[in-house]
Chain A
Amino acid sequence: MSQQGYVAAPPYSQSQPGIGGFGSPNSSLHYGHYGDPNSSYSAPQPGVSKSTVPFGSSAPVGPPPPGAHQFSQPSFQNGPGTPGQQPHRFQGPPPPGNTGASYPPYSPQSQPAFPNAAPASSTAQLADQLNSMQINNYGPGPTPSPGHPASFQSPRLPPPPTQQQMVLPPGPQVPPPPPTSVNGLCTQPSLPPVARQGGIPGPVPPNPNLQQLPGQPPGPGYHPQQANYGPQMAGSQLSYPGAFPGGPAQLSGPQQKKLDPNSIPSPIQVIESDKAARGGQVYATNTRGQVPPLVTTDCIIQDQGHASPRYIRCTTYCFPLTSDMAKQTRIPLAAVIQPFANVPPNETPLYLVNHGETGPIRCNRCKAYMCPFMQFIEGGRRYQCGFCNCINDVPSFFFQHLDHMGRRIDHYERPELSLGSYEYVATLDYCRDKKPPNPPAYIFMIDVSYRNIKSGLVKLICDELKTLLDKLPREEQEESSAIRVGFVTYNKVLHFFNVKSSLAQPQMMVVTDVSEVFVPLLDGFLVDFEESRSVITNLLDQIPELFADTNESETIFAPVIQAGMEALKAAERAGKLFIFHSSLPTAEAPGKLKNRDDKKLLNTDKEKTLFQPQGNCYEALARDCVANGCCVNLFLFPNQYVDVASVGLVTMYTGGTLYKYNNFQLDGDSPQFLSDLRRDMEKKMGFDATMRVRTSTGFRATEFLGAIYMNNTTDVEMAAVDCDKAVTVEFKHDDKLNEDTGALIQCALLYTTVSGQRRIRIHNIGLNCSAQLADVYRTCETDALINFFAKSAFKAILSQPLKTVRDILVNQTAHMLACYKKNCASPATVSQLILPDTMKVLPVYMNCLLKSCVLVGRAEIPTDERAFHRQLVMAMGVADTQLFFYPRLLPIHSLDVKSDAVPAAVRCSEERLSEGGAFLLANGLSMFLWLGASVSPELIQGLFNVPSFAHISTDATSLPDLDNPFSKKLKHILEQLQSQKPHTMKLIIVKQREQPEMLFRQFLVEDKSIYGGASYVDFLICIHKEISQLLS
């Protein structure tokens, strides 16, 4: 059924006509559209519902009863009573019933599913996550389940954006439902209008529409999913797992009808209000446990003793005092550390401390580095370590008297005493083999197989390198870069090039022994670009010609990395490989890969294997690379499956960056690629790095997530680390913390600079501790939380079924919120969904994470894409994850040409679009320019220099440079969006109601996803239900 439904109802196409409605700014109109689909559902529903019910029966009990009690009505209405009831609910016109067929099933199905979920959750919790959260349905046991959703819905609808703590206090407003969860449903059908009106204060005018609206979008998208899930869920009644996908969907159907999207917490509003409150100001890090501005807020950060939030951002700035508390809240205690984060020019760069041969001053016991947390005592002769409390002697050269405050007189003269972040010059003890390191090397390794030659890619790379090599990173005070460069090309064999400056011509050395690859030369392979410029230019000119008539289409991959690594090893340098690769490495060699992309594995327990590498060759290689300080940057140009999970593994472990250009076309994609290459090459970075996170007593770092390699439990090894890479560190309690001393964290990163200097970068941050849960919740940082959740979930999918992972996320979200509601909210609001102010947008973000393509397996999403995203996210910092999961949607039709500011974003929902508008959407990976069907011709003319909508070519990947303020302004905005983003976003122009819009819609994350993800509203309802269950 489900399948048919899915197929039969081309969700997208159908909805389109409806979309037309959007054109009108009026929201009600929108709803109207939605109405259509809804209506459709209803009609078919009857038949379907029947069938589903039986299936669902497992949970079944649920469905029927609900139907009977609360929901029964709605469902009935949908089904049988369509004609009659519909009018009520869906005021909108009941259009074609095609799609409907598919819909109906859902609603019923979903219901059963959902109930299951709730109870299940309790049972099926997994490892890290807390199991404990069993909660009885607060409604009647079995039956209630269906009911719950319903009940929630009703309450939610009301949630007007409350100001702070009570985000969704439906309580008063929507009181009717609360009493009995089950009842809620009942009320809905009958009382929808009433409920809303009563429950929802102002903003609920379009209620009727609304209901439909939410319902609809999910409908089309969701149907298929549910169909799939339906049966499963039925089977696993009590397991929460099924719940997520199914759950929201189900809920959505009925519930959404009542929730006003405008009334639920808006990320945009949160962002904007923080901007308004703190944007542009100076934020001084002088207080322990101070919550920094949001990542989306621009401000100037002044280091006054704690590391800037650009370097470290924590999930909460007040740790619970005891581990029991921590368990109770279930708020992950984590810090996202981005040790090389870019700092805007108006902030001070890090100071460099040089103690000469003695090296950095460190605590004798815990080896923590001298920092503001050290307490000087005994007149300055000794100091007490803030981390382990050990009392150490102050080295004589470092001695200084204390002032009357007990502070050293030179407090402000020494960065290590007064700043949160600074660098030490490392001594030879910190170097490999106690020898000063050589400057790093960059090796360019180009796949010259048939396809790359024919596509012109090789020529493009070579041409670009000629100019790009002048921009190798260097220390500010140096004239030229110390970095050495080397060149390798390969197909089935490797070609090394001798570009020694004394040669008239470069020399090519072919290594055919790929089973045991080696470096054929040392002297002349890694050279100074300045010295060998003519030879290198000569080489780059010749490479495309050398292979012009190649017909070799097979490639190798692991030996390429191996070769690069061996070269660096032989030269005793750290370095970075730039590998330009395009196909699955099928040639006979180590690391040979098979095409194992199997859609049948989706949504099974074996799905995780798709994210694991093939064989252990790549893992071993990654280990070697890290051990030798070899960072691997991979530029992939695939036009079919290349097994990113395998080939990207080394990149990920070595702190490299993976770039992927699907179906690379020279015309359209080269700007994006070249800009990526340029940026990557110029990046400031550290090589051969080891990071160690030290904490004060009572807690410790237990887990590290990121593009890193761990040889043991404490040392984070990174072959290289650049400004975009962040490591998320989770902390656990060892003992009770101390409110007075707080929780201190010191992150020390030992690395080699681009000029070959060994340094230690220190970031210190102090957090508060509190016995009050409210304190903890008050200082939470949702963006960091999401970063943590995303990384830990993406790590977990390697070992657990995706369903389990999703359930854990939902469950934990619910627990965190439930704990808050139970302990920090006023008891009056039993049935309301109450969100702490700092977590207002957690549900919407969480929902975005849950429906990211990594966590949702769909046959339409290429496996490579999922692996790619997974890998990207693992390395991301907070700002990147924020944008990645909740893209920015900017209305540009109403640009104020005169102001400098980027217009305020709008929420990522279809209903925010308007037919006459143009919107820009960016998520850090791609960028869309969405043009409404009736966008004004002036705007089109101004942007594209074509007369009408119809003339706009969607092939273009950039906007023409036009001399009008509007175009310039937009270009400026594009630049601003792009700045500081690790990947260059390719601009895709999307016209309303044309095929590519599908792609665009995926990013409207508040809506129901066509790939099966709940809408924001649905999810909220689901969470609410969960919470209620937990608390009941």
Chain B
Amino acid sequence: MSFQSFCSPMATYLEFIQQNEERDGVRFSWNVWPSSRLEATRMVVPLACLLTPLKERLDLPPVQYEPVLCSRPTCKAVLNPLCQVDYRAKLWACNFCFQRNQFPPAYAGISEVNQPAELMPQFSTIEYIVQRGPQTPLIFLYVVDTCLEEEDLQALKESLQMSLSLLPASALVGLITFGRMVQVHELSCEGISKSYVFRGTKDLTAKQIQDMLGLSRPAISMQQGRPLQTPEQPPISSRFLQPVHKIDMNLTDLLGELQRDPWPVTQGKRPLRSTGVALSIAVGLLEGTFPNTGARIMLFTGGPPTQGPGMVVGDELKTPIRSWHDIEKDNARFMKKATKVGASACRVCLKAKTEYCVGTLHGGERTVHKALYIAMLTAALCPSPVNISYSINVGTVCPDIRMVVLETPSLPCVINCENGQGKGKRLSPSYFSSVVLYLLREKSISVLFLRSQRMTCRDVSFVLLVPGCFSSLVYCFFFPRGHMVMGDSFNTSLFKQTFQRVFNKGYNGEFRMAFGANLDVKTSRELKIAGAIGPCISLNAKGPCVSENELGIGGTSQWKICSLDPSTTLAIYFEVVNQHNAPIPQGSRGAVQFVTQYQHSSTEKRIRVTTIARNWADAQTQLQHIEAAFDQEAAAVLMARLGVYRAESEEGPDVLRWLDRQLIRLCQKFGQYNKDDPNSFRLSESFSLYPQFMFHLRRSPFLQVFNNSPDESSYYRHHFARQDLTQSLIMIQPILYAYSFHGPPEPVLLDSSSILPDRILLMDTFFQIVIYLGETIAQWQKAGYQDMPEYENFKHLLQAPLDDGQEILQTRFPMPRYIHTEHGGSQARFLLSKVNPSQTHNNLYAWGQESGAPILTDDVSLQVFMDHLKKLAVSSAS
């Protein structure tokens, strides 16, 4: 398949990479593999790949039979195009363990001209539909927070009601609501609606939960393999989980009657919210009714858990929610408990037990709490006995006025107040103080501000530490296995559309979601598996191809992926174990097979098998081949994931240092330079973009917690760990388009120099779509030129980015925050914080040019960064 790659020029490599991605959903950091362990470690960037297991393929009709497996018990690899086949003897040799296997009887008729699909090269990725075990319906369990503002709850109720129509008719749904108490609603009853209520503070075992719900162990268990349609007594679960088509009306009414949590919240308190127990019960319910079955728990919450297991903050408003600073200082009172509960109550088996999120503050002494951000917690739950899997989808939101303190280091602090719709408005000091008072008094919200020397409203001295903070802090586990949406209110299109998109259907009319997936990776013997990073958890499957060195979630060759959609992407890291003194014969190839078993949204069980192979090369003699086959985009994302993974358990600066060191080493290895001469430094084309990615990664919210609440960090990291390569790159280095009268829209550098008065900029950071009108454009718009027929072209110019932005909004999941701002607007900060600060207040006047906009920051610019990099790379000292 890829022989020509060996001698092909760079362009071919790009094609090759693209072709492979199209077909197999795989991007390797190296497309030619160094053939010895020693060399591989010298390559700096590990041999790894990004795998999109369910990549949508229009041209891949599934086959309706079972895959043929290698008979060696430790191998069980699937028959694939790389296997050698003896058509006459009806034998095939496994390309991983070299076992010779007999074809099963059904294959009696095969010959060179009559090959089964799995032997054809174009089917290096193939999907089987298998008939194993009973078919279980899809299960959606809604877990809904009722501690919301009235209008918010209303909006949420409507969204939920609407979602019922999007579910497949045969899917089972259940409803759990929570506030101070947790209610499990019975769906089958006529007349009086009935629910089981649990105390929100009491951690219950699965057994207790099932006893209390009256779910005795079903005697008719699933493993007997009887199809569901046998006319049996409706299973006990029917009280809580019912097919949508049956209780459609019932549930709609039930949702309609949902009230806000009826417990009064006294002034100065937060509502009591028992998120932990609610999740625990949701899991207990599923375990009791559908053990070993995939299901989705969809959590909708509007604030931090304030009581019971998993609480992150008490109900006293005067106790602010922990900030990064608190976490770092080990001040977060409930953190230990919360994280522990995260593990126990939700029964998530994660390796990282203690601290999921730790970061450092830029500059070390300042924290800013953004008010009113709420996270959606997505946590996939996987009870330890491995075979049970649920994923949680979350929509969270907390409505309210947002007060944001935007602070750029050491520079004026701009205080903005926005309402839920996001309309920015600059405050007069008196208005500001009245807003603060309003928040404190009426909304029982407290906000934490930081004082800065040059405030717009100097006379408001109390800004120093106005109590509080509204932000909710839901610790998102680093490896959530569901969706997470974060927004200000359930009453925003951000939430509504995102939620709707969860139920989007693919090209073939099927849901773009899969349940209870299980990924099995097999490697040829020169390779071992070091680990995976992504929305998955280890199944602890030890085997010959498992490396002792772990990168990410390692020590296993199998992972559980509770919720999977076509864009879910895992990073899988390998280790070359071939010793230097046992060279691999020229032209031989290493192979990796990915076997993904999952429950398709049509309830079928499916297995997708992807088998890939790459050439080996001796790095000492053929380094240029290896170098040419470097996929810098994949490498950047893979390294970023490693960095983010580390950030979960290490101090922020350490991670940055590690990233820097890796980058320097890479440059040393592959750069061309004269010792100690920075100016001589050159990188080949296949590496040229890599340092820039790293520069932006260092500035990204994934590694910088400054100015982000822990919620936000978790949220960002969550999505970063599951999106595919393209999206991940956008997250690392946002895309910037410029619209002007000077030409057609063009991508421009993510640099402050791109911000020109006569330009409209469209920035896509994945999480935000920012449309920024340059100073002149903004003035024109204010002057109303766009409404004048003679300036219709201006109107078109204004419209063009909007259209493009809409296009992105339509396809992106989760729905990004849409920001329309202009020069000097408060929300311009979204743009300003992303661009490379090539012009700052420090050098602006020195340059004396009028191009671009100065950024008020002390951050280093790309230029400075590169200069340093070069210096360090060529330094003989290092």
Interface residues of A (CB under 8 A from B): 495-497, 500, 503-513, 516, 518, 520-524, 539, 542, 545-546
Top 5 nearest A-B pairs by Cβ distance?
A: A523-B262, A520-B197, A512-B212, A508-B194, A510-B196
Q: Which of B197, B199, B264 contacts A509 (CB under 8 A)?
A: B197
Cβ 8 A contact of B195, one of A507, A523, A542: A507
Q: Report which of A497, A516, A522, A542 forms a contact with B191, defined as CB distance below 8 A.
A: A542
- B397-428 interface bits toward A, Cβ cutoff 8 Å, 1 = contact, 0 = none: 00000000000000000000000000000000
In angstroms, Cα B328 to Cα A715, docked, is 55
Q: How far is the CA of A34 from the CA of B511 in the complex (A)?
A: 97
Which of B199, B212, B214, B263 is A523 in contact with, Cβ under 8 Å? B263
Q: Are A520 and B183 in contact (CB under 8 A)?
A: yes
Is residue B198 within 8 Å, beta carbon to beta carbon, of the partner chain?
Answer: yes
Interface residues of B in 181-199 (CB under 8 A from A): 181, 183, 191-199
Question: Is B32 an interface position by the 8 A CB rule?
Answer: no
Known: A522-B264, A523-B262. A505 touches B197 (CB 8 A): no
Contact A505 B192 (CB under 8 A): yes
Q: Given that A520-B183, A521-B262, A522-B263 are contacting pairs, would A510 and B194 also be in contact in the complex, using a CB cutoff of 8 Å?
A: yes
Inside 8 A of B212's CB, which chain A residues have their CB? Answer: 512-513
Bound state CA distance, A869 and B262, in angstroms?
A: 43
Q: Which of B181, B193, B213, B257 is close to A520, meaning CB atoms less than 8 Å apart? A: B181
- Within the assembled complex, what's the spacing in Å between the Cα atoms of A503 and B196? 18
Main secondary structure of the interface of B (DSSP, over half): mixed
Does residue B202 face the partner (Cβ distance < 8 Å to A)?
Answer: yes
Report if A506-B196 is in contact (Cβ < 8 Å); known contacts: A512-B212, A524-B262. Answer: no
Q: Is the interface on chain B under 10, 10 to 19, 20 to 34, or 35 or more residues?
A: 20 to 34
B163 within 8 A of A: no
B259 within 8 A of A: yes
- Nearest A residue to B196 via CB reads A510
Q: Tell me, in angstroms, the Cα distance from A511 to B200 when the chains sit together.
A: 12
Knowing A511-B197, A516-B202, A521-B181, say if A503 contacts B192 (CB, 8 Å).
no
Hey, which chain A residues are within 8 Å of B181, CB to CB? Answer: 518, 520-521
Distance in angstroms from B239 CB to nearest chain A CB is 11
Residue of B nearest to A494 (CB): B197
Question: Would A505 and B183 be within 8 Å (CB), given that A512-B213, A522-B264 are in contact?
Answer: no
How far does the alpha carbon of A516 sit from the alpha carbon of B195 in the complex, in Å?
Answer: 18
24 A-B residue pairings within 8 Å (CB atoms): A495-B194, A496-B197, A500-B259, A503-B257, A505-B192, A507-B193, A507-B257, A508-B192, A509-B197, A510-B194, A511-B196, A512-B196, A512-B198, A512-B213, A513-B199, A516-B199, A518-B199, A521-B181, A522-B262, A522-B263, A522-B264, A523-B264, A524-B262, A546-B191
11 A-B pairs besides A505-B192, A509-B195 with CB distance below 8 A are A496-B197, A505-B257, A506-B192, A508-B195, A509-B196, A509-B197, A513-B198, A513-B202, A516-B199, A522-B263, A523-B264
Q: Is the CB of A542 within 8 A of B192?
A: yes
- Give Cα distance in the complex from A508 to B197, angstroms: 10
Residues of A within 8 A of B192 (CB): 497, 505-508, 539, 542, 546
Question: In the complex, which residue of chain B has the Cβ closest to the Cβ of A493?
Answer: B212
**Least CB separation from A543: chain B residue:** B192
Contact with A along B154-194 (1 / 0, CB 8 A): 00000000000000000000000000010100000001111
The distance in angstroms between the C-alpha atoms of A239 and B191, with both chains bound, is 69
B246-271 vs A, Cβ < 8 Å mask (1 yes, 0 no): 00000000000101001110000000
Question: Is the Cβ of A505 less than 8 Å from the Cβ of B193?
Answer: yes
Interface string of B198-237 (1 = CB under 8 A from A): 1100100000000111100000000000000000000000
Q: How far is the CA of A497 from the CA of B197 in the complex (A)?
A: 12
Closest chain A CB from B693 CB (angstroms)? 53
Could you tell me the distance between the alpha carbons of A939 and B181 in the complex, rounded to whole angstroms?
A: 66
Q: How far is the CB of B441 from chain A (nearest CB, A)?
A: 22
Shortest A382–chain B CB gap in Å is: 46
B interface vs A, CB < 8 Å?
181, 183, 191-199, 202, 211-214, 257, 259, 262-264
- A residues less than 8 Å from B202 (CB atoms): 513, 516
Q: How far is the CA of A495 from the CA of B197 in the complex (A)?
A: 9
A757 CB to closest chain B CB (Å) equals: 23
Expressed in whole angstroms, the minimum distance between the Cβ of B516 and any Cβ of chain A is: 29
Q: How far is the CB of B554 from chain A (nearest CB, A)?
A: 41
Which residues of chain A have C-beta atoms less than 8 A from B183's C-beta? 509, 520
Q: How far is the CA of A522 from the CA of B266 in the complex (A)?
A: 14
Instruction: Give every chain B residue within 8 A of A505 (Cβ-Cβ).
Output: 191-193, 257
A507 to B253, CA, bound (A): 12
Chain B residues near A546: list those with CB within 8 A.
191-192
Task: With both chains docked as a complex, state the minimum distance between the C-beta of B181 and any C-beta of chain A, in angstroms.
Answer: 5
Q: Which residues of B contact A513 (CB under 8 A)?
A: 198-199, 202, 212
Most buried by B among A504, A508, A511: A508
Shortest Cβ distance from A505 into chain B, in angstroms? Answer: 6
Task: Please measure, in the bound complex, the distance between the C-alpha atom of A495 and the C-alpha atom of B264, giving whole angstroms.
Answer: 22
Chain B residue numbers with a CB within 8 Å of A524 are: 259, 262
B199 touches A504 (CB 8 A): no
Q: In the complex, A377 Cα to B777 Cα: how many Å?
A: 94
CB distance from B307 to the nearest CB of A (A): 12
A542 neighbours in B (Cβ, 8 Å): 191-192
Q: Give the complex CA separation of A513 and B200 in angstroms.
A: 12
Residues of chain B contacted by A503 (CB below 8 angstroms): 257
Shortest beta-carbon distance from A317 to chain B in Å: 53
A507 touches B263 (CB 8 A): no
Q: Which residues of chain B are within 8 angstroms of A507 by Cβ–Cβ distance?
A: 192-195, 257
Q: Which residues of A contact B193 (CB under 8 A)?
A: 505, 507-508
Q: What B residues does A508 contact at CB under 8 A? A: 192-195
> What's the nearest-Cβ distance from chain A to residue B203, in Å?
12
A508 vs B186: C-alpha distance when bound (angstroms): 10
- Of chain B, the residue at the smallest CB distance from A520 is B197
A229 and B197 CA atoms in complex are apart in Å by: 57
In the bound assembly, the distance between CA atoms of A521 and B197 in angstroms comes to 9
User: Hey, which chain A residues are within 8 Å of B191, CB to CB?
Assistant: 505, 542, 545-546
Measured CB to CB, the closest approach of chain B to A559, in angstroms, equals 13
Docked pose: A523 CA to B194 CA in angstroms: 17
For the complex, give the distance between the alpha carbons of A500 and B258 in Å.
Answer: 12
Q: Which residues of B contact A509 (CB under 8 A)?
A: 183, 194-197
Q: Which residue of A lies closest to B193 (CB)?
A: A507
| Cβ–Cβ < 8 Å partners of B259 in chain A | 500, 523-524
A522: which B residues are within 8 A, CB to CB? 262-264
CB distance from B177 to the nearest CB of A (A): 11
Q: Give the complex CA separation of A297 and B197 in angstroms.
A: 56
Chain A min CB distance to B184 (Å): 9
| Distance, CA A516 to CA B204, complexed state (A) | 12
Bound together, the chains give a CA A220 to CA B194 distance in angstroms of 61
Cβ contacts under 8 Å, A497 to chain B: 192
From A496, A513, A523, residue with most partner B Cβ within 10 Å: A513
Give the residue name and chain of the A residue nearest to B184 (CB).
A510
Docked CA distance A5–B625 (Å): 119
Which residues of chain A have C-beta atoms less than 8 A from B262's C-beta? 521-524
A542–B190 CA distance with the chains assembled, in angstroms? 11
Bound-complex Cα distance A524 to B263 (A)? 10
A504 to B259, CA, bound (A): 13
Closest Cβ neighbor of A570 among chain B residues: B263
Nearest chain-A residue to B204 (Cβ)? A513
| Cα separation A504 to B202 with both chains bound (whole Å) | 32
Determine the distance from Cα of A23 to Cα of B262 in the docked complex, in whole angstroms: 71
- A510 and B263 in contact (CB under 8 A), knowing A503-B257, A520-B183, A539-B192? no
B194: nearest chain-A partner, CB-CB? A508
CB distance from A742 to the nearest CB of B (A): 53
Q: Report the bound CA distance from A520 to B213 in whole Å.
A: 15
A500 to B260, CA, bound (A): 13
Q: Which residues of B contact A516 (CB under 8 A)?
A: 199, 202
Nearest residue (CB) in A for B199 is A518
Q: Across the interface, which residues of A come within 8 angstroms of B257, CB to CB?
A: 503-505, 507
Cβ contacts under 8 Å, B214 to chain A: 512
A496 to B197: give the CA distance in the assembly, Å: 10
Q: Smallest distance from the beta carbon of A215 to chain B beta carbons, Å?
A: 65
Which residues from chain B contact A496 at a C-beta distance below 8 Å?
A: 197
